[in-house]
């Protein structure tokens, strides 16, 4: 994992409430002069940062080996756990994009804001295309998305109208 402040590998991790992760020293220096996330500009105070332990400090590598050596080890349980972690990561990533979209929706509808909103939705669509289980596991998600796309197709803004048609096709027609 790379710190977006110093562009080096993160050794001592620190997470913000917006789920972005940085080097502990880098984010502490940043927060002395700024009160927002360097990536998404979410307002942050010192109490909204969290230390994260690295994999080696938890000694998970050795635990992983001992689990594999255990003859009672249940492979199916591991697959379920891996799927759960993947779902959690993908869901959290979607939440970040949706939070950014909600913030952008509060702003004015200038052409640069619309372009930014379209970029966020493009990211959401890419996640959904690569993780079709989201819609398969919860049909309500598909219904809500189709409803939102239909609303966007009613937009007077030609860019939004065209993109909504493309997104609808990419997610539901293929």
Residues 78-98: tens digit of each pLDDT: 656 777 788 888 888 888 888
Q: Collect all residues with Cβ–Cβ distance below 8 Å to 86 and sequence separation of at least 6.
A: none
Q: What pLDDT does residue 91 have?
A: 83
Q: What pLDDT does residue 171 have?
A: 82
Domain end (from 42, 73, 104): 73
pTM for the model? 0.49
- Domain holding 118, by residue range, is 74-172
Distances (CA, A) of 61 to 79, 86, 157: 18, 19, 53
Q: Residues 42-58: what's their mean pLDDT?
A: 59
Domain end (from 51, 73, 95): 73
18/50 same-domain check: yes
Q: Residues 2-20: what's their mean pLDDT?
A: 85
pLDDT(71) > 50:
no
82/127 same-domain check: yes
Q: What pLDDT does residue 129 have?
A: 85
> How many secondary structure helices (H) and strands (E) does the chain include?
7, 3
**51 strand-pairing partners:** 14
């Amino acid at each position: 994992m790379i710190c977006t402040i110093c562009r080096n590998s993160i050794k001592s991790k620190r997470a913000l409430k917006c789920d972005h992760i940085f080097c502990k020293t880098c984010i502490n220096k940043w927060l002395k002069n700024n009160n927002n996330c360097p990536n998404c500009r979410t307002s942050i105070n010192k109490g909204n940062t969290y230390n994260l332990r690295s994999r080696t400090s938890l000694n998970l590598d050795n635990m992983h080996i001992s689990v594999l050596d255990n003859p009672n080890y249940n492979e199916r349980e591991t697959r379920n756990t891996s799927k759960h972690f993947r779902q959690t990561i993908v869901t959290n990533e979607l939440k970040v994009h949706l939070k950014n979209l909600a913030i952008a929706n509060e702003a004015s509808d200038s052409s640069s804001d619309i372009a930014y909103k379209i970029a966020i939705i493009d990211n959401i669509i890419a996640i959904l295309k690569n993780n079709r289980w989201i819609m398969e596991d919860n049909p309500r998600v598909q219904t809500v998305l189709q409803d939102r796309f239909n609303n966007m197709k009613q937009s007077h803004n030609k860019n939004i109208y065209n993109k909504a048609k493309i997104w609808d096709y990419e997610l539901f027609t293929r």
